[in-house]
Amino acid sequence: MKAAVLYGAHDWKIEDRRTPLFGDNECLIKIKACGVCHSEIHQWETRVEGLEYPRYIGHEVAGEILKVGSHVKQFKVGDRVAAWADGRGYAEEIAVSTEFLSLISDEIPYEHALSEPIACTTNAVLRTNVQLGDTIALVGMGFMGLIMLQELRLIGAKKIIAVDVRKEMLELSAKLGADIQLNPDEHDIDLEIKKLTGEKGVDISFEIGGNQSTLDLASQICRMEGKLVIFGYHPGSRIIKDLGYWNWMAFDIINAHFRDMKTILNGMKRGMDLFNAGKIKMDKLITHKFRLDKIEDAFTSAKNKPIGFVKSVIVFD
C-alpha cells in the first residue's frame, strides 16, 4: 500500500509499505479520505525541534472495513466508518482499534465523515454548558467554527455573531445560520458588539482562530462574568495583554482542549450521532480534494487558504 511520509519541512515521500498488522480488537480499514488538520500545518511548514521525523501524520480518517480482528463483534467487513487515528492516516490502509470507529450512514460521502474535528467541537460545546438564549460570538469562522456554529444552532442561542476577516467565510456562516456577520477589517468589533448586547458584551465568546488577534478580540468582547472559551489551537507562545482586565471582567476561562480518552470518545459518539442524523452538514465545508501524490498541494491550500477555502481532504479510490 502507498503512504505519504513527512521527512522534514515540505518534504513528503510517497512510499510503498506493507499492509498494517491489526490486533484482536482492531479493524483494517481501506482509507477513502483523510482530512488535513490545522494542527498538522506547523510540523509540515518547518521542521519542529523536539518532534521526531520522519512523521506519519493524518488522523481524520474515513474508509471501508477490509478485515476485522478476532474479538471484534460490533463491526464487519464492508462497514463504512469514520476513524480517529493516532497518525498514519495519509495512507491507503490503516489499523484502528474499534473504540475509535464510528459507523457512517450510507448516503454520507466518506470525505465528509471526519470524526476527530466533530469530537473536538462537540466536546467544546458540551464543556461550555451553553444555555438556551445565550448570545454567542464565534471569533474565527474556519472549518471548526462552521461546525461549531451548526451545533450551537441546535441548542438555541439568542444570537450567534460570526467574526472573521474573510468575507466568503462570513457569507457561508450566514448560510449556515449565524445571525450577524462582523469583519474586523470593516467594523469596530468592540463597538458593534456593545450595540448588539446593550453595552454588556456577549455571554459566550469562542476564540477559534488560534492566533494572537483572535485571542485578544475574543477576550475583549466577552461580558462581565461571561465565558471566554479558548478553542483555537495555539502552537507557540501567546500573550494575555491585560490580565488585570481579565480579572476585573471575572469571566470564566474555559480551555476547550481534551486529553482524557473517555471525554474524547463521549464527544465523538454524540457528535457523530448528530452528523449521521444530518444535523451537522459538511457539504459546504469540504472545499478542496487532493490525491495522495498531491499532498503538498493539500497542505499549501490549508496554509494559504485560497478564496473559498474551508477544508482540504486527501481522497483515495
Interface residues with Zn ion (CB under 5 A) are 37, 116
* Least distance from Zn ion to the Cβ atom of residue 142, Å: 12
* Least distance from Zn ion to the Cβ atom of residue 289, Å: 17
* Least distance from Zn ion to the Cβ atom of residue 59, Å: 6
Residue owning grid cell 461580558: 223
| Helix locations, 176-309, DSSP H | 189-196, 212-220, 243-249, 261-276, 295-304
Nearer to Zn ion, 145 or 226 (CB): 145
Sign of CA dihedral 35, 310, 151, 232: positive
Look at residue 214 and give its three-state secondary structure: helix
Nearer to Zn ion, 118 or 229 (CB): 118
Nearer to Zn ion, 37 or 72 (CB): 37
* Least distance from Zn ion to the Cβ atom of residue 316, Å: 18
Nearer to Zn ion, 37 or 138 (CB): 37
Nearest-CB residue for Zn ion? 37
Nearer to Zn ion, 118 or 161 (CB): 118
Please name which of 80, 43, 82, 79 lies closest in space to residue 59, comparing C-alpha atoms: 82
Asked whether 99 and 21 are in contact (CB, 8 A), the reply is: no
Task: Report the greatest alpha carbon distance in the chain.
Answer: 62
Burial 93-128 (b: 16+ CB within 10 A, else e): bbbbbbebbbebeeebbbbbbbbbbbbbbbbbbbbb
Please name which of 225, 43, 39, 233 lies closest in space to residue 124, comparing C-alpha atoms: 233
* Least distance from Zn ion to the Cβ atom of residue 48, Å: 17
